[in-house]
Amino acid sequence: MDIKEYKDIYVFCEEKDGAINDASLELLGEARRLVENRPQLGYKVIGVAIGNLDEDLINEIGYHGADKIIWLYNKDINHYSTEIFTTLFVDEVIKKDKPDIVLIPATVMGRDLAPRIAARCDTGLTADATKLEFDPENENSSLLYVTRPAFGGNLFGTIVNETKRPQMTTIRPGVMEKLPKDASRQFEIDKREVSIVNINDPVKLVEVLPRDHMAVDITKADIIISGGRGIGDNFHILEECAKMIGAEVGASRGAVDKGYIAKDHQVGQTGKTVRPKVYIACGISGAVQHLAGMEKSDFIIAINKDPDAPIFSVANIGFVGDALEIVPLITEEIKKYRERPY
């Protein structure tokens, strides 16, 4: 393998519910940051889309940072297929275009697709990355330094792939930041008609079921009020406050592990990464694993009995006290404010 033949950063762009999902757009933004921070490489950001997609969706990839979009089109590809997507990505993109770096969202689809691509290419894959940077010791190197949590999030390791290409990694939704949409951006669309006749897909799609309407996607919330183990089985207090302020309820890993609330609500290294406008941490000490999942929130409010709790180091406002006493008071004051006569 001649590593010098491999070039550019490729991003798999996943379609979900009629749109390119935010996780893919975030990776386009991160790829853009990488290439602009090392212009001497002359690298481009290449988006890869697969299937019978609307051209407006393809344009969204360009509007959010891609210099070029490789669109593997077939009118019969209307849903994700492990075998079809893997085969097409390897045969039609990696073998023909030789990408140096491939970024894939760590979504359900991405976690299924990425390891299969890596295995067929006989290359490595770093999963659930939280930080990407080019070799800091060599400004002309495209070697990617990938940081990810290890040992349950208690440690962080940096992984490099010096001998195989492409360099592959999956990145969790919410970790990176997408660029604002710019409809004036210039980009190239390389639409390739692909055949799937000779791809043996052993899986037959029977039915697509909507997700449980009770499930929570806290990554899209503008306001999150989160509880730790100190809240115990009193999460109803946070839920009442959340209703008053239009928030979603989050939680630390400790609270989830104790069974106080479902894992859908977990914020942190082993949960979800969030960037709300306001994050309210109640009874959360602020372990590094939790901070990694919420420290990029626009405004952070912390409530904790311990004045030395690490959560206060990232908070814009802090209250030293019992969250079980303070949160109901806040809820009551908001209720009074809303019910006041005009």
94 contacts 72 by C-beta, under 8 angstroms: no
- pLDDT score at 55: 93
Q: Where in the chain is the domain with CATH 3.40.50.620?
A: 3-193
145 contacts 44 by C-beta, under 8 angstroms: no
- pLDDT score at 126: 94
Which amino acids are annotated as binding site for FAD, given as ranges?
229, 252-253, 266-270, 283-290, 304
In sequence order, the 6+-apart residues with CB closer than 8 A to the CB of 95 are none
Name residue, tokens 């669109």.
71
- pLDDT score at 300: 96
Backbone conformation region of residue 329, classed left if phi is above 0, alpha if psi is from -120 to 50, else beta = alpha
| Token pair belonging to 69 | 């979009």
Q: Describe the strand order of the beta sheet including 131-134 as a list of residue ranges.
A: 131-134, 144-150, 155-159
- pLDDT score at 153: 58
How many residues does the structure list for the chain? 342
Instruction: List 193's β-bridge partners, or say none.
Output: 73
Q: What is the pTM of this model?
A: 0.75
Q: Where in the chain is the domain with CATH 3.40.50.1220?
A: 218-339
Its CATH class, for the domain covering 218-339, is alpha beta
- pLDDT score at 44: 97
CA dist., res. 295 & res. 274, Å (int): 8
- pLDDT score at 139: 92
Q: Describe the strand order of the beta sheet including 68-73 as a list of residue ranges.
A: 125-129, 167-171, 99-105, 7-12, 45-50, 68-73, 188-193
Q: Does domain 3-193 have CATH number 3.40.50.620?
A: yes
- pLDDT score at 269: 81
186 contacts 244 by C-beta, under 8 angstroms: no
Across the chain, which has 342 residues, the per-10-residue mean pLDDT values are 90 92 95 95 97 94 96 93 95 96 94 96 92 93 89 76 95 89 95 91 80 71 93 91 93 90 88 92 91 91 94 94 93 85 68
Q: If DSSP states are collapsed to H, E and C, what string results for 87-107?
A: HHHHHHHHHHHCEEEEEEECC
Q: Which of 56, 66, 53 is nearest to 25 (CA)?
A: 66
- pLDDT score at 13: 97
Which amino acids are annotated as binding site, given as ranges?
229, 252-253, 266-270, 283-290, 304
- pLDDT score at 145: 95
Residues 22, 23, 26, 28, CA torsion sign: negative
